């Protein structure tokens, strides 16, 4: 019954999927990324929507289990290497996983007689996980000895696909070099994927036969310049209601460390949304001037706590408890604007940071 709620329009997500399908070549498999509860949308629970896809990508084995138990029957790929303790869960729920850790694969191969399916990640510049290019030959030699390991795909991750074309091109070239090594050494696989939401707009190269799409599905762009290339619909709106209204005298303070000191008689409204609910990097300072929308007007955020924000509503008449507050709605106040206040982070960091303390309302 909490008054702060995240409204998610599943029809817009469906429309985004249709638009993306028209943009991607028909012979290229789309792997939707639904990690972090579908970037906060809980798309991973809407099996009737995602069952149209042969592959779904998640970050964690636990996320794969939730997806499988929710009824998804297709292939679930875990993007990052698992731990030894997760072998039983991988087998029980038939999960594909990142097989870049050859020692882990050797351990799994000894511990089971069942076939395990992997996609091999190649490290080309992200610096996170993946087989180093200098280790590819030794990796391949050891991999061929593992009778219970089946290779379904080879992939990498572009670090700057929407911002640094030169570096991305270097990553793609490195990736192609490794594919050539695998072909020369008779490593067979079905799928090749390196393109993500940003890359599909920036490169004329063939997309190989699989792309991983995350933020676009939810209606947001990795870079605003892509908006003219495809018609997408932002799917999330975050609203709250004023929970308390108070008057301040000159010199009264608001927030930790007296973040705000009233220079005039003021009226301050409290809304039940704080650091514990998301936007951890939000700065309520003059440099950023973050605001919310109340009664159609911009109202400055002057204080933030774990569970609440305090808003200066001095210049708005008839403000009262229960009035609607727009934290973002993609029209009057966009996710991208909020991201800029949070030290210039990305829009997907904003939507995926919204805590499960915030109830979801699905349209």
Distance CA 215, CA 234 (A): 10
The tokens 């939000």 sit on which residue?
282
Known catalytic residues are: 35, 256
The helix (H) or strand (E) run that includes residue 107 is helix 102-111
Distance CA 53, CA 304 (A): 41
Angle subtended at Cα 241 by Cα 240 and Cα 244, rounded to the nearest 5 degrees: 135
For 358, residues 6+ apart whose C-beta sits below 8 A from its C-beta are 2, 4, 5, 6, 238, 273, 277, 278
User: What are the b/e assignments for 179-200, b being 16+ CB within 10 Å?
Assistant: bebbeeeebebebbbbbbbbbb
Distance CA 344, CA 140 (A): 41
Strand segments, DSSP code E, in 306-353 are 309-312, 324-328
For 15, residues 6+ apart whose C-beta sits below 8 A from its C-beta are 233
Distance CA 190, CA 253 (A): 62
Taking each continuous run of H as one helix and of E as one strand, the counts in the chain are: 11, 20
- Residue 286 vs residues 283, 301, 327, 341, 344: alpha-carbon distances, Å: 9, 10, 18, 11, 15
The distance of Cα 63 from the centroid of its chain, to the nearest Å, equals 13
Paired tokens of 245:
């209204």
| Reduced 3-state DSSP string for 120-179 | EEEECCCCCCCEEHHHHHHHHHHHCCCCCEEEEEEECCCCCCCCCHHHHHHHHHHHHHHH
């Amino acid at each position: 019954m909490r008054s702060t709620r995240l409204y998610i329009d599943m029809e817009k997500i469906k429309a985004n999927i249709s638009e993306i399908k028209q943009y991607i070549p028909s012979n290229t498999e789309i792997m939707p990324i639904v990690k972090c509860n579908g970037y906060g949308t809980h798309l991973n629970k809407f099996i009737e929507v995602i069952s149209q896809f042969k592959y779904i990508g998640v970050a964690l084995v636990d996320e794969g289990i939730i997806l499988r138990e929710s009824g998804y029957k297709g292939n679930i790929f875990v993007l990052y290497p698992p731990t030894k303790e997760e072998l039983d869960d991988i087998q029980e729920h038939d999960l594909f996983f990142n097989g870049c850790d050859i020692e882990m694969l050797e351990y799994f191969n000894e511990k089971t007689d069942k076939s395990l399916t992997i996609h091999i990640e190649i490290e080309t510049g992200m610096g996170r996980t993946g087989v180093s290019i200098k280790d590819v030959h030794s990796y391949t030699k050891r991999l061929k000895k593992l009778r219970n390991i089946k290779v379904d795909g080879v992939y990498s991750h572009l670090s700057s696909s929407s911002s640094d074309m030169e570096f991305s091109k270097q990553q793609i070239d490195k990736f192609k070099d490794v594919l050539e090594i695998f072909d020369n050494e008779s490593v067979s696989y079905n799928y090749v994927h390196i393109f993500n939401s940003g890359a599909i707009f920036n490169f004329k190269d063939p997309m190989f036969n699989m792309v991983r799409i995350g933020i676009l599905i939810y209606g947001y762009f990795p870079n605003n310049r892509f908006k003219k290339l495809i018609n997408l619909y932002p799917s999330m709106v975050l609203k709250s209601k004023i929970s308390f209204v108070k008057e301040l005298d000159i010199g009264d303070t608001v927030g930790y460390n007296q973040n705000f000191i009233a220079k005039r008689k003021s009226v301050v409204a409290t809304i039940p949304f704080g650091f514990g609910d998301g936007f951890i990097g939000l700065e309520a300072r003059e440099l950023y001037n973050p605001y919310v929308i109340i009664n159609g007007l911009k109202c400055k955020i002057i204080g933030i706590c774990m569970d609440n924000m305090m808003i200066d509503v001095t210049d708005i008449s008839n403000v009262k408890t229960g009035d609607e507050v727009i934290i973002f709605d993609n029209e009057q106040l966009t996710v991208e604007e909020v991201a800029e206040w949070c030290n210039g982070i990305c829009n997907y960091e904003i939507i995926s940071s919204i805590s499960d303390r915030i109830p979801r309302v699905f349209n």
